[in-house]
DNA sequence: CGCAGGTCCTGCACGC
DNA sequence: TGCGTGCAGGACCTGC
């Protein structure tokens, strides 16, 4: 479940169902899903077993769960503490199951969680749960990584491998004017910049197209020509579209994209341009004008936009 | 065959 | 010449 709202839905599910529980067993069924772990699958299994899951965190599309020691141990100092890092890639799911649930087709990693005595009882009477990583395309993965202080706020810790990821638009410390300055200093197309996770994180192909449409900006607009008002309008549009999607449980086109309980979100019904090629632009239609959404191939992927309210700039950067 | 929601690595061009 | 940076394109996967 790729973009920020979908990852946030998963984070909330992990916070509700899994946080606080100790890991009693780990099984990696496909080593490619732990390829980013130093030492590979066997090291991942042994290093995660016996640890306790703390409160899950997120930046952009990255999710991580800081690891404490055993429940009877003091919480570790964040210096040197490790986290379980999750990236869903294109097709990853993190599911909370009971150990006896039928095995999913693309199940790659299972993490057995002990009963803490305070959790919800399951139908079988026990309350052991299982965190399952299911991933068809194996672009995603799980790995352990040390927590390091963030560059701009040293009191805030994040996994070393996430340190290069910029703050996302729903982060309380997100700084739109800093993003505007960095956009102006780039020489590229606007959508390329939006998809660059080191500039602003959490945006993928769906929300990039939706935010550009809301801000009435074309994807090939040269970033160095943006004025403050346009940047502000665009970043507000990104925040709005993400909050709207979150309120509906995220965007799901099929069973590939679900929350930890396997349920789909509904935001696909609110999309204005993504996947809407050939249909009427809703804004133009409301204004009594007819304009059809078009889809371009670009960066080896598709970009949908309305040629009337998002005109191609005179000098475009593709 | 083309297409799918993401990231990472490589190689190139450029400036110091 | 060498190095660092920014940018573009391809690689990585499976299934419909």
The answer to whether residue A169 sits within a structural domain is: no
Return positions of chain C under 7 A from a protein CB. Answer: 6-15
Report phi then psi at A214, rounded to 5. Answer: -60, -35
Does one domain contain both A151 and A251? Answer: no
A317 touches strand C (CB under 7 A): yes
Does one domain contain both A13 and A146? Answer: yes
Q: What angle do CA A87, A89, A94 make, to 5 degrees?
A: 55
The answer to whether residue A25 sits within a structural domain is: yes
Question: CB-based burial of residue A70 (10 Å sphere; 0-12 exposed, 13-18 middle, 19+ buried)?
Answer: exposed
Q: Which of residues 27-86 of A touch strand C (CB under 7 A)?
A: 32
Range with the largest mean pLDDT of A75-84, A118-127, A201-210: A201-210
Return positions of chain B under 7 A from a protein CB. Answer: 3-8
pLDDT of residue A274: 96
b/e sequence A161-183, b meaning 16+ C-beta within 10 Å: bbeebbbbbbeeebebeebbebb
Does one domain contain both A280 and A218? Answer: yes
Confidence of residue A208 (pLDDT cuts 50, 70, 90): very high
Question: pTM of the prediction?
Answer: 0.95
Close Cβ partners of A260 (under 8 Å, ≥ 6 residues apart): A10, A13, A14, A17, A94, A95, A96
Number of H helices, E strands in chain A: 7, 12
pLDDT of residue A77: 60
Q: What is the mean pLDDT of residues A185-206?
A: 96
**Segments forming the whole domain that contains residue A204:** 176-305
Q: In whole angstroms, give the CA distance from residue A43 to residue A41.
A: 6
Domain closes at, from A108, A130, A162: A162
pLDDT of residue A121: 53
Contact by Cβ (8 Å): A18, A53: yes
Q: Report the domain count for chain A.
A: 2
Domain closes at, from A117, A135, A162: A162
- The nucleotide lying nearest A36 (C-alpha to C1') is B8
Confidence of residue A125 (pLDDT cuts 50, 70, 90): very low
Does one domain contain both A142 and A215? Answer: no
The answer to whether residue A170 sits within a structural domain is: no
Close Cβ partners of A287 (under 8 Å, ≥ 6 residues apart): none
Q: What is the mean pLDDT of residues A17-35?
A: 97
Q: What is the mean pLDDT of residues A135-150?
A: 96
pLDDT of residue A243: 97
The answer to whether residue A314 sits within a structural domain is: no
Q: What is the pLDDT of residues A97-108, one digit of tens each?
A: 999 999 999 999
Query: Mean pLDDT score of chain A, rounded to an integer?
Result: 93
Q: In whole angstroms, give the CA distance from residue A20 to residue A126.
A: 17
- CATH number of the domain enclosing A74: 3.20.190.10
The answer to whether residue A13 sits within a structural domain is: yes
Q: What is the mean pLDDT of residues A11-35?
A: 97
Q: What is the mean pLDDT of residues A65-88?
A: 79
Q: In whole angstroms, give the CA distance from residue A117 to residue A114.
A: 9
pLDDT of residue A255: 79
Does one domain contain both A125 and A263? Answer: no
A138 touches strand C (CB under 7 A): yes
Q: What is the mean pLDDT of residues A276-301?
A: 94
Residue A181 above 70 pLDDT?
yes
The answer to whether residue A171 sits within a structural domain is: no
Does one domain contain both A157 and A181? Answer: no
Does one domain contain both A182 and A51? Answer: no
Q: In whole angstroms, give the CA distance from residue A272 to residue A257.
A: 19
Please report, rounded to a whole number, the percentage of residues in chain A having pLDDT higher than 70. 93
A300 touches strand C (CB under 7 A): yes
A192 touches strand C (CB under 7 A): yes
Does one domain contain both A181 and A230? Answer: yes
């Amino acid at each position: 479940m790729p973009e920020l709202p979908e990852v946030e839905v998963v984070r909330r599910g992990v916070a509700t169902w899994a946080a606080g529980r100790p890991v009693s067993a780990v099984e990696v069924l496909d080593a490619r899903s732990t390829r980013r772990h130093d030492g590979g699958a066997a090291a991942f299994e042994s290093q995660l077993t016996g640890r306790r899951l703390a409160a899950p965190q997120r930046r952009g599309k990255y999710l991580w769960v800081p690891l404490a020691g055993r429940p009877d141990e003091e919480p570790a100092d964040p210096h040197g503490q490790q986290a379980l890092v999750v990236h869903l890639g294109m097709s990853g799911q993190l599911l909370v199951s009971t150990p006896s649930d039928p095995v999913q087709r693309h199940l790659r990693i299972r993490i057995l969680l002990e009963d803490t005595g305070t959790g919800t009882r399951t139908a079988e009477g026990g309350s052991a749960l299982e965190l399952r990583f299911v991933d068809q395309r194996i672009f995603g993965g799980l790995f352990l990584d040390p927590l390091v202080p963030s560059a701009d706020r040293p009191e805030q810790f994040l996994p070393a491998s996430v340190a290069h990821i910029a703050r996302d638009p729903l982060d309380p410390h997100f700084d739109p004017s800093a993003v505007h300055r960095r956009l102006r200093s780039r020489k590229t197309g606007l959508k390329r910049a939006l998809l660059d996770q080191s500039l602003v994180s959490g945006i993928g192909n769906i929300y990039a197209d939706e935010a550009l449409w809301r801000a009435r900006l074309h994807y090939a607009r040269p970033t160095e020509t943006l004025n403050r008002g346009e940047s502000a309008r665009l970043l507000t549009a990104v925040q709005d579209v993400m909050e709207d999607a979150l309120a509906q449980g995220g965007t799901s086109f099929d069973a590939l994209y679900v929350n930890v309980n396997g349920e789909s979100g509904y935001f696909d019904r609110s999309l204005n341009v993504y996947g809407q090629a050939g249909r009427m632009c809703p804004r133009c239609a409301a204004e009594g004008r007819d304009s059809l959404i078009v889809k371009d191939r670009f960066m080896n992927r598709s970009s949908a936009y309305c040629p009337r309210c998002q005109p191609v700039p005179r000098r475009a950067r593709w």
